[in-house]
Structure 1
Amino acid sequence: MRILILNWRDAKHPRAGGADFRLQHVYAPLAKQGHEVILYCCAFPGCEPRENIDSIEVHRIGNDFTFSFLCMLKLRGWVKKHQPDVVVEDLNKLPFYSPLVYKGPLVIQMHHLWRSSIFRETNFPMAFFIWASEEMIRFVYRKCRFSVVSESTQKELIAMGVPEINARVIHNGTDLKAYVPGMQEREPFILWISRLQKYKGPTDAVEVLEKLLPEFPELKLVIVGSGPFKEKLAAFIQTKGLQDRVRLTGFISEEEKIDLLQRAAVHLQSSYKEGWGLSVIEANACGCPVVANDTTGLRDSCRDNETGLLYKHCDIADAA
């Protein structure tokens, strides 16, 4: 089978996130089994325009601002060139409008919709543009087949006019051979893992720590991840006077992440909106208690009072 994929970023992009790594984990095994997988994504400074990553043929063009337009402009040519059996569009942030160009077998992969949460992440003009672009799903994508990672995302699509039968839920999973409980004692630190963006709620995690310190003076916070919000987060930590209580690790290896999950007292997932929340089930697999924001995606991966505890949406006091 020949599979043509449209996605914002490949796994080597400096700003690659969970959706991009998931795509790699899903399609690399298919490529290694002999299927031809072609990925078109946006370029980044210093990248190769074409590269093979785990048997996936990666083509990079444009940038974050032009890639969506280039997809609409060039998709017809890519289809003619590669003759795919199926086209897969990973709909994340801005749509590529592939149904307007390609009329063959098409699958739309989706983690989550931004909806109104985008207004907490960026300036109003950009937020409104992304919100309005998502609204086009009602008209351009409503007859398409969707693969979504949670019931929350499925419900959002149904609310936008996509028939339930067209939105199939396939949960994310994790490697249960790698993510296992450790033998060491739990240590007094909260572990936060995600990309450093405002909507992921890293400042909320800092405020939770601040509230807990009077009762637990030895407690610390370890924040794992990198991203565009790093400098603002560091400044926020400084204004709170918690530089010696909060450690920013930046990007770390999977082995290092597993070690932290095996030692942490609790994993805090404070994102304002998620498609699923992979770190929740990774923590579960490592025997690490989970406290998560009661929001889309996280209420799917974290079952309240069963696999973790949900706190009232964005309520710092309840989280603490």
Structure 2
Amino acid sequence: MHVLFCNWRDTSHPEGGGSEFYVEQMARGLAERGHRVTIAAASFPGAAKVETTGGVRFVRSGAKFGVYLQIFARLLLRRYGRVDLVVDVQNGLPFFTRWATRKPVLVLLHHVHREQWPVVYPGLVGRVGWWIESRLAPRMYRRSRYVTVSQATRLELVDIGVDRDRVAIVHNGTIPAPRLGGPRSTTPRLCVLGRLVPHKQVEHAIDTLADLTEEHPELTLDIAGDGWWGQELRAHAEARGVADRVRFHGFVDEATKHRLLAEAWVMAMPSLKEGWGLVVGEAGLHGTPTVAYASAGGTQESIDHKDSGVLVDTPEQLTKAIGGILADPSWRRFLGDGARTKAASLSWEASQSRFAEECARAAGA
């Protein structure tokens, strides 16, 4: 088959992240099975319009919002060539592919954005976005199959009107970490990995650092990632009096990312919403446990509570849980061992095989 993925961004995009990594892993799995695979995504300064990497062709056009119109028009006009299956990757908004092609459409969705719309786009824009996601899209794709990454998201899809029997779960996998020399940091270190945007709530990690200063005066926070909210976070660190102990690393390469995870005593994931939380497994490869909000959804599956990490409900509980892990070496080792075991159980190969089966099912093969 020729499978076309319609995605907002790809991993080379400055704002690319875990969901884009998942898409490309699934695409490469299809390519390795002999399928022709194209990923249509947004362009960005310096990006190649067309390139092939890892057996997957990337076609980039349009910017943050223009990409939706570009992909719709190109699919309608058959500019991607003969397509047998379309994978509509819905990151809040669909690509309306159901109206642009008669070919089968498989919807890939990491999580429902109910909580994020009013945070990222307050007012009318957010209300319209949520209406499209929760009302229009389920009706538009009422004959399509869905793939999501967690049971939590599957239940959210059912809640907005998607038939349970049309939703399959294909979990994230974990790539073995590169070999790294050197021990874990001798002083307590907290880390956060992800895009610097409001709904990631990195402020909560900065608050945790400030609130634990008296108990752990040597505690530092490493923040790996970048985004348009970065300056607000730097100002917040200044306001809390901990700017000298917060290290903003910006975008980092794979080696640096894994070095930071290996050195950290604990990772904080204070996100408002996560479909799964890819970095949880990456931290787990190094025996680094994660503390996250249970209400984020997918974290309830990527983290085994009090076995591979800790799930909490409030910022106060986040601080208390992280403080407890920092203060108790035995508890930290126990959670770290559990995190390592959990990460080792997740395989991208198994996920790729499962996704390929869902593609064949959606295409009627």
TM-score (norm 2): 0.81
Identity, in percent, stands at 32
Deviations 1:125-156 (A, max 9, x none): 33223212212123112331111011111011
Are 1:5 and 2:39 an aligned pair?
no
Match of 1:38, SS state, is: strand
Q: Is the 8 A contact 1:291 1:310 kept in 2?
A: yes
Give the structure with the larger strand fraction: 1
The one-letter code of the counterpart of 2:127 is: F
Q: Which residue of 1 aligns with 2:245?
A: 245
Q: Unaligned regions of 5+ residues in structure 1, if any?
A: none
Change (3 A) 1:44 1:181: closer
Match of 2:147, SS state, is: strand
Runs of 4+ in structure 1 off by over 6 angstroms are 179-183
Query: 1: CA distance between counterparts of 2:60 and 2:158?
Result: 33
Query: 1: CA distance between counterparts of 2:198 and 2:56?
Result: 32
Change (3 A) 1:11 1:181: closer
Q: Which residue of 2 aligns with 1:113?
A: 112
Q: Which residue of 2 aligns with 1:59?
A: 59
Query: 1: CA distance between counterparts of 2:180 and 2:17?
Result: 25
Q: Which residue of 1 aligns with 2:302?
A: 301
Are 1:72 and 2:72 an aligned pair?
yes
Aligned pairs for 1:92-111 within 5 A: 92-111=91-110
Aligned pairs for 1:1-320 within 5 A: 1-32=1-32, 34-78=34-78, 82-135=81-134, 136-175=136-175, 177-178=176-177, 184-186=183-185, 187-295=187-295, 296-312=297-313, 315-320=314-319
Give the structure with the larger helix fraction: 2
The one-letter code of the counterpart of 1:119 is: P
Query: 2: CA distance between counterparts of 1:11 and 1:222?
Result: 22
Q: Unaligned regions of 5+ residues in structure 2, if any?
A: 320-365
Query: 2: CA distance between counterparts of 1:39 and 1:121?
Result: 26
Q: Is the 8 A contact 1:111 1:275 kept in 2?
A: yes
The one-letter code of the counterpart of 1:123 is: P
Q: Which residue of 1 aligns with 2:362?
A: none
Query: 2: CA distance between counterparts of 1:208 and 1:44?
Result: 35
Query: 1: CA distance between counterparts of 2:46 and 2:299?
Result: 35
Query: 1: CA distance between counterparts of 2:256 and 2:133?
Result: 36
Query: 2: CA distance between counterparts of 1:258 and 1:97?
Result: 38
Change (3 A) 1:235 1:59: same
Q: Relative contact order, CA 8 A, sep 6+: which one is greater?
A: 2
Match of 2:244, SS state, is: coil
Query: 2: CA distance between counterparts of 1:179 and 1:125?
Result: 46
Query: 2: CA distance between counterparts of 1:294 and 1:311?
Result: 6
Change (3 A) 1:112 1:182: farther
TM-score (norm 1): 0.92
